[in-house]
C-alpha cells in the first residue's frame, strides 16, 4: 500500500478483506460482521455498484419510481437523506481533515453524510440503501429477501471517473496514468473491480436482482426506466417516464443540489471536476495513450476469460 500513500495526502491505513481481497480502510473490520449479518427487510430497495458506475443516477431513478414520481420532494431532500450509504462511515475517513475546518457548509454537509451502521440498521421502513461492497461481503439472504438493482460500467470509464472523484474527495495528487496503474492493480478502495462485477453477474438470473449496464442507460434511458419500474412492481406511464428522464438529464442533474451538493466541491482539490461530471460513455478514449489502450485490452481479456460477461459496445 506504499504506492497508494505516495499519491494521496491522507494517512489512512488500508487492508484487504474477504476471499476476494476487498481493498478497504482498516476501520472497515469494525462493522464487517455487521454488514454480513445485517437484517434485511422485504421492503428495502438496494442499489449496488462499483464506485462511479452510475450510482447516484440510478438512486434518483429508483427513489422516484418508488415514491410515485414525487419530483418536488426529491429536489428538496438531499440524496443522502433519502438513500443511505451503507458503508459511508468508513469512506468519510479519506476526506482530508484540513478541509473540514475551513467552511461551515462543508462541515455541515459532511456531518449529514456520515451515518453509522447502527443508524442504517435502525432506520424506519422503507429503507433505500446503496452499497459498493462485493456481494460476498453483504448479507447472505439479501436477494432472497429484497430487491437489488446492480449497475455495471466499462472499467475504463469507471477508472477515469474514479480518478476525478479521488481528486475531488480524497486529495489524490498523481496523474491519471498513475491512477490507472493503481486501478488495474486492485489498489483503490472497493477493488478488485472484476470480482465485484462477476459476483453480481453470476446472480443476474435471480428474480430479485436487476443487472443493468450503464452504457444501456446512456443509449436508451426511457427503456431502462421502464424495465426498472417493472422490476420494482411499479406503474410508470410514458409521460412520467419522460419527465423522469428529463429530470435526470445530465444538464439538469448537475444543477440539482439534492444530488450534487455545493459543499462537495469544497472538500479536496479545487481544480477537480464536480461530483456529477458528464454522464457519458466512451470518454476514456480521451485519456488513454496507446500503451494504456493495449494494457486495458489485455487486462480486460485476462479477467473476462471463461466468463460470458461483456460490456456493450
The residue among 152, 193, 214 whose CA lies nearest residue 296 is 193
Q: Which of the following is catalytic: 22, 90, 121, 132?
A: 132
Helices (H) and strands (E) in the chain, counts: 18, 7
The residue among 258, 257, 264, 260 whose CA lies nearest residue 106 is 264
132 is catalytic: yes
As beta bridge partners, residue 23 has 16
Q: Convert 150-163 into a string of H (helix), E (strand) and C (coil).
A: EEECCHHHHHHHHH
Strands, E assignment, 54-191: 84-85, 128-131, 147-152
Whether 225 and 65 have beta carbons less than 8 Å apart is answered as: yes
DSSP 202: H
Give catalytic residue positions.
Answer: 132
Amino acid at each position: 500500500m506504499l504506492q497508494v500513500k505516495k499519491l494521496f495526502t491522507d494517512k489512512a491505513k488500508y487492508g484487504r478483506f474477504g476471499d476476494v481481497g476487498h481493498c478497504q480502510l482498516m476501520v472497515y473490520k469494525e462493522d464487517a460482521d455487521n454488514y454480513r449479518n445485517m437484517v434485511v427487510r422485504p421492503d428495502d430497495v438496494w442499489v449496488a455498484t462499483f464506485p462511479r458506475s452510475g450510482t447516484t443516477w440510478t438512486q434518483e431513478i429508483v427513489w422516484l419510481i418508488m415514491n410515485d414520481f414525487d419530483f418536488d420532494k426529491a429536489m428538496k431532500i438531499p440524496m443522502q437523506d433519502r438513500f443511505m450509504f451503507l458503508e459511508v462511515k468508513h469512506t468519510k475517513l479519506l476526506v482530508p481533515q484540513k478541509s473540514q475546518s475551513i467552511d461551515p457548509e462543508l462541515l455541515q454537509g459532511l456531518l449529514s453524510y456520515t451515518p453509522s451502521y447502527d443508524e442504517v440498521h435502525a432506520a424506519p421502513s422503507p429503507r433505500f440503501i446503496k452499497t459498493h461492497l462485493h456481494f460476498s461481503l453483504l448479507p447472505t439472504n439479501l436477494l432472497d429477501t429484497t430487491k437489488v438493482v446492480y449497475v455495471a460500467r466499462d472499467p475504463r470509464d469507471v477508472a477515469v471517473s474514479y480518478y476525478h472523484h479521488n481528486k475531488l474527495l480524497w486529495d489524490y495528487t498523481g496523474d491519471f496514468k498513475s491512477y490507472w496503474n493503481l486501478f488495474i492493480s486492485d489498489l483503490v478502495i472497493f477493488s478488485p473491480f472484476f470480482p465485484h462485477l462477476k459476483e453480481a453477474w453470476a446472480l443476474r438470473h435471480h428474480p430479485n436482482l436487476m443487472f443493468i449496464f450503464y452504457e444501456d442507460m446512456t443509449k436508451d434511458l426511457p427503456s431502462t426506466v421502464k424495465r426498472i419500474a417493472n422490476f420494482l412492481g411499479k406503474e410508470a406511464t410514458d409521460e412520467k417516464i419522460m419527465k423522469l428522464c428529463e429530470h435526470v438529464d445530465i444538464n439538469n442533474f448537475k444543477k440539482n443540489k439534492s444530488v450534487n451538493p455545493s459543499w462537495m466541491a469544497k472538500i479536496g482539490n479545487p481544480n477537480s471536476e464536480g461530483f456529477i461530471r458528464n454522464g457519458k460513455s466512451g470518454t476514456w478514449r480521451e485519456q488513454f495513450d496507446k500503451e494504456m489502450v493495449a494494457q486495458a485490452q489485455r487486462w480486460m481479456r485476462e479477467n473476462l476469460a471463461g466468463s460470458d460477461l461483456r460490456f456493450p459496445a
